Amino acid sequence: MAKYGKLAMQMFSLLAAGLVLGYARDKRTRNELLKECDKIWLSMDQNLLFELVRRFKFNKLISIDDIKGKKYIKLSERGRRKALEMELGNIKLNVPKRWDKKWRFVVFDIPEPKRKIRDALRRRLKALGFCEFQKSVFAFPYPCEKEINMIINFFGLRENVRYLNSSISYDADLRKYFKI
């Protein structure tokens, strides 16, 4: 499967973009998604692609529907999960040149039965560069709400996690940690 790594990511990106396209409200966003899909599609090796489609179908990551003589590929629930995992591994937080002097906090209260998920969330936040402010409060100096929402959705923690955007009175320790 190693030779399919990049191709698999491209295919998942295409299929996930199709899903996002269905939710895109404004024309500009839809056009940007379509341009990105075209760029990905044209860069793919077509022979490897058909082999990968066969493997994805065998592994139940996609389904192929025949509607009025046309074939449609869609992600299965298992495929969506795999695409999210791949996307989650690729999340990088943007660091603008100038800091807006606001802090972003991720605050959570996750019950003990979900301990493994809570620990995975902590590891993910640390890997992204967050500072552990308290055991279940993490700080970051730059906007990252979109990325945090993706992580929250992946772990299924919508009711347990909050994203806050705030200034605080004493932040010398955080400024030192982030070198700002």
* Residues forming a β-bridge with 165: 104
Judge contact between 64 and 72, C-beta under 8 A: yes
Beta strands (DSSP E) in the chain are 62-67, 70-75, 103-108, 131-134, 137-140, 161-166
Query: What mean pLDDT comes out for the span 77-106?
Result: 87
Average pLDDT, the chain: 87
pLDDT above 50 (res 1): no
Question: What is the residue extent of each domain of the chain?
Answer: 2-89, 103-178
Instruction: Give pLDDT tens digits for 25-81.
Output: 778 878 887 888 888 888 888 888 888 888 889 999 889 888 898 888 888 888 888
3-state secondary structure at position 36: helix
pTM of the complete model = 0.66
pLDDT above 50 (res 2): no
Tokens in use for 178?
A: 């982030």
The class (CATH top level) of 2-89 is: mainly alpha
pLDDT above 80 (res 180): yes
Query: What mean pLDDT comes out for the span 133-147?
Result: 95
Please give the pLDDT value at position 178. 95
Please give the pLDDT value at position 83. 78
CATH for 103-178, options being 3.30.70.240, 2.40.50.140, 3.40.50.720, 3.40.50.9100 = 3.30.70.240
Please give the pLDDT value at position 170. 92
